[in-house]
Amino acid sequence: MRNETLKSQHFTRRALLVAGGQLLMLSALGGRLYYLQVVESDKYQTMANGNRVRVFPTLPKRGRLLDHQGKIIAEGHRRYQVLFEPLTLRGADTVLKKTAAMLEMDMNGQQALLKKLAKLHFGEALLVQDFVPWDKVTKVEVEAYALPGIRVTKPEVRYYPEGAVMGHLTGYVGMPDENDKLDEALLHYPEFRIGKTGLEERLEERLRGKPGLRQVEVDARGAYVRELSIDRGRSGEDVTLTIDLDMQRFMVEQLSGKGGLMKEGGSAVLLDVTNGHVLAMASVPGYDPNQFVRGIKQNYWDQLINDPDVPLTNKPTSSPYPPGSTFKTMTALAALHTGTATEDTSFFCPGFFQMGDRVFHCWNRNGHGTVNMPEAIMYSCNVYFFNIAKRLGVDPMMEMARQFGLGAPTGIELPGEKSGLLPTREWKRKTLGKPWVMGESLNAAIGQGYTLETPLQLAVQAARIATGGRKIIPTLIADAGLESYDLVQMDSGEKVLLPGKQREFGQVDIDPEHIRIVQKGMRMVVNDPRGGVYPLHLADPQYMFAGKTGTSQVLSNKTFKYVPTMKTERFHALFIGYAPVHDPRYAISVVIEHGGYGSGIAAPIARAILLKAQQDQVGV
């Protein structure tokens, strides 16, 4: 009996120990489960989500470029892309090969993709094909379940409806490269584009917008399951330009087929002198920016870079020319300002000017007789300005030119603007290591020699003369120079922001009466029967215009020919002017490369543009 009792006690103790051990193990397991599921739940939920949720940037809608009336100059159109966004790089080459075969890519294309794949970092996307046609899109969409990481997207492609008409101004967008100093992750995303030239480059920050995020659920193979959430970010800003598209088209039409070494080569700029707005700025030949957006074809690229009339160059801002006789207005103002001459100062022109053993010719070999200052401007008499230069010297001429916008960048919102050149005694000594000589002053007085100006600077010069010396600063952006915006309540009750006070321009340091004398000469060029452009004058007083022709030689003095025989020897033809003469609103410059004489080709183009601007009241 006693033995039975002892056995029962041993069994009970053992059972308690086993039960205690089990309870302890269960407690430990429960504690661990609690720790994992409650205390560490956020951590493991994040890890789980990382396996099934992928996060991609969403590209912001790029802002549009609009003309001053709201007409579209640049916008976004949808196109199809195929991207590879692998969850793992294991087996990625097989997926790429299958996709490339569906897209009917050749072996070279497939090999190029595999090379890019070898450099792909985890989390980055690879562009498989851009501008994919719809029939191939459907193939890929149908087989998407078997192609983990492959996704069809519909990003915007930049579209320029005006093509070459606006190409130099808009520029174009392209894929970022190592030269683009930006830190955003979007720079490494295949769909992303940034401005590469023109206004697209200069206005990049305003046009780009801010990216968002897109969360997508994927399965274990990385294949798309569903979209969980999307934040589209913030669209880029629409930017209104000062350009009038109708006038821009008309200007290009007027310049087309004129001058050039091969087919055409010229430029023109039309300014609103009340606010500095560039209403039209054209350069021919042009290029179509749409060709660059899609990936430029080799034959088109070869055509552009081999054209001697340089279609890739925006001539109004990046091609300086000798200003020719348009510079005589600056010589006249410098003489008046320094007291070297007055309106009535006269010189006799026999057709040449003798200085030592050198002879400097007037364009009219028969001479102009005795002329005063306004008549010298009207006739464009070289001998008159040779006499002025001998008394005046070069530096006062260049200082006056600087006040009228020549010899320095205007600050226009385009990359690559050239400054031109206003040579001085000090400049020659520092640059060429030689002293200035009097013959160079004579050449400078008529816009030859070292002097170089861009067509935009010439338009600014005309605008400052037209306004009696207001320091007009050109702009392509409608809201540039505004000090503020005013909140205005419309008749409908809606409150809108309207441009506030316009920034005031400064004034050149010269007597307005001196500018009046030059204006008189410019009016006579066009409206006096003796003037070289009189056949182009407009009889209606409300449209009358004033101006100054220019003809700049492209050969050195030693080889100068008055009757060029080859295109490469032809003069550049120039004209600057403004209208209407009684209350100037528009200023213009026209430069036709190798076009001949300013009165024969540049002046008629300027007349047509100024007349249309006034009849249409462009910019109002």
pLDDT at 481 > cutoff 70: no
Residue 41 lies in a domain: no
**pLDDT, tens digit (0-9, with 9 covering 90-100), for 214-248:** 777 766 655 556 767 777 778 889 999 999 999 99
Whose tokens are 């050195």? That residue is 556
Q: Judge whether residue 340 has pLDDT over 60.
A: yes
The predicted pLDDT at position 268 comes to 98
**DSSP structure class, residue 520:** H
> What's the 3-state SS for 43-105?
HHHHHHHHHHEEEEEECCCCCCEECCCCCEEEEEEECCEEEECCCCCCCHHHHHHHHHHHCCC
Q: How many Cα atoms within 13 Å fall on the side-chain side of residue 390?
A: 12
Region for 356 from its dihedrals, namely left if φ exceeds 0, alpha if ψ lies in -120 to 50, beta otherwise: left
The pLDDT assigned to 156 comes to 77
449 and 598 together in one domain? yes
pLDDT higher than threshold 90 for residue 552 = no
End residue of a domain, out of 240, 264, 297: 240
Is 257 a domain residue?
yes
Locus of tokens 């930006």: 182
CATH number of the domain residue 542 falls in: 3.40.710.10
Q: Which of 225-234, 350-359, 377-386 has the highest mean pLDDT?
A: 377-386
pLDDT at 199: 97
Same domain (yes/no): 208, 303: no
Residue 44 has pLDDT above 50, yes or no: no
Residues 78 and 162 in one domain: yes
Do 175 and 275 belong to one domain?
no
pLDDT band at 437 (very low <50, low <70, confident <90, very high): very high
The pLDDT of residue 495 is: 47
Cα dist from 315 to 281, 372, 418, whole Å = 9, 35, 10
What tens digit of pLDDT does each residue of 145-171 get? 778 878 787 777 899 999 999 999 999
Over the stretch 296-316, which tens digit does the pLDDT of each residue have?
Answer: 889 999 999 999 999 999 999
Please report, for the domain that includes residue 172, its CATH number: 3.90.1310.10
Please report, rounded to a whole number, the percentage of residues in the chain having pLDDT higher than 90. 58
Per the prediction, the chain carries an average pLDDT of 85
Three-class SS of 523-554: HHHHHCCCCCCHHHCCCCHHHCCEEEEEEECC
User: Is 590 found in the same domain as 481?
Assistant: yes
Angle at 383 between CA 378 and CA 387, to 5 degrees: 110
Distance, CA of 425 to CA of 435 (rounded, Å): 7
Q: pLDDT class for 28, splitting at 50, 70, 90?
A: low
User: 3-12, 47-56, 248-257: which has the highest mean pLDDT?
Assistant: 248-257
Structure-token match 């009684």, residue found: 582
Report yes or no on 31 lying in a domain: no
Residues 595 and 601: beta-carbon distance below 8 Å: yes
Residue (of 204, 180, 167) closest to 291 by Cα position: 167
On whether both 279 and 189 belong to a single domain, the answer is no
Same domain, 145 and 88: yes
Residues 221 and 296 in one domain: no
Whether 141 is covered by a domain: the verdict is yes
The whole-number average pLDDT for the span 502-524 is 92
Between residues 95 and 154, which one has the greater pLDDT?
Answer: 95
pLDDT at 545 over 80: yes
Does residue 191 share a domain with residue 298? no
CA distance 333 to 468: 12
Angstrom distance (rounded) from CA 218 to CA 212: 19
Using the 3D structure, point to which of 240, 269, 286 is the last residue of a domain.
240
Note down the domain range covering 100.
Answer: 54-240
Query: Does the pLDDT of residue 105 top 70, yes or no?
Result: yes
Task: Judge if 375 and 484 occupy the same domain.
Answer: yes
User: Are 234 and 266 part of one and the same domain?
Assistant: no
Residues 206 and 265 in one domain: no
Task: Provide the whole-model pTM.
Answer: 0.81
CA 109/CA 102 separation, integer angstroms: 13
Q: Which residue type, as a one-letter code, is found at position 262?
A: M
How many domains would you assign to the chain?
2
